[in-house]
Amino acid sequence: MLVSSAGRPVLATMIKDLVEAHPKVFRGKYPQASPTIPIGWHTLLDEFCLLLEAICDEYELSSLQFHRILNESGCLILNFDFCCKLSERKAQTIEARVFALRNRSFFSCSVCGRLVETLTDPVLCKVHDKLD
């Protein structure tokens, strides 16, 4: 298990940091997270939360339920729903971003999140592949 400099597991630290950085999205609630979420996906998750904060109003964000963050076969899966009806435009924007993030996750370095040119197992950029 990877451990942060504070001695906490990296995944727990990443999720905690994400929840604290985006209180309007998570409202202090921690989503379930697959133990195989690469630390490099933090940037993708942060980007998604920033999008939600930018396009959703307070009421919409208060109805957001973020259930799970998963790694399925190397792809980021975000499991969430809104308890209110979103405008068609907002729903399509969010759906398009989820689709794009899922595709980017497949090609993102597991350590830093940079896009890679060649897929490896695990997915590593040139910098982190050399450290192995």
What is the β-pairing status of strands 75-82 and 64-72? antiparallel
> Could you tell me if residue 21 is inside a domain?
yes
Total tally of structural domains belonging to the chain = 1
Q: List the domain range (segments joined by +) for residue 89.
A: 10-131
Looking at residue 128, its pLDDT comes to 87
> Could you tell me if residue 3 is inside a domain?
no
> Could you tell me if residue 57 is inside a domain?
yes
> Could you tell me if residue 5 is inside a domain?
no
> Could you tell me if residue 22 is inside a domain?
yes
> Could you tell me if residue 95 is inside a domain?
yes
> Could you tell me if residue 4 is inside a domain?
no
> Could you tell me if residue 1 is inside a domain?
no
| HEC per residue, 4-47 | CCCCCEHHHHHHHHHHHHCHHHHCCCCCEECCCCCHHHHHHHHH
For residues 21-45, give the mean pLDDT: 93
Mind listing the pLDDT tens digit for each residue in 49-84?
Answer: 999 999 999 999 999 999 999 999 889 999 999 999
Looking at residue 18, its pLDDT comes to 95
Q: Counting beta carbons within 10 angstroms of the beta carbon of residue 112, is it exposed (0 to 12), middle (13 to 18) or buried (19 or more)?
A: middle
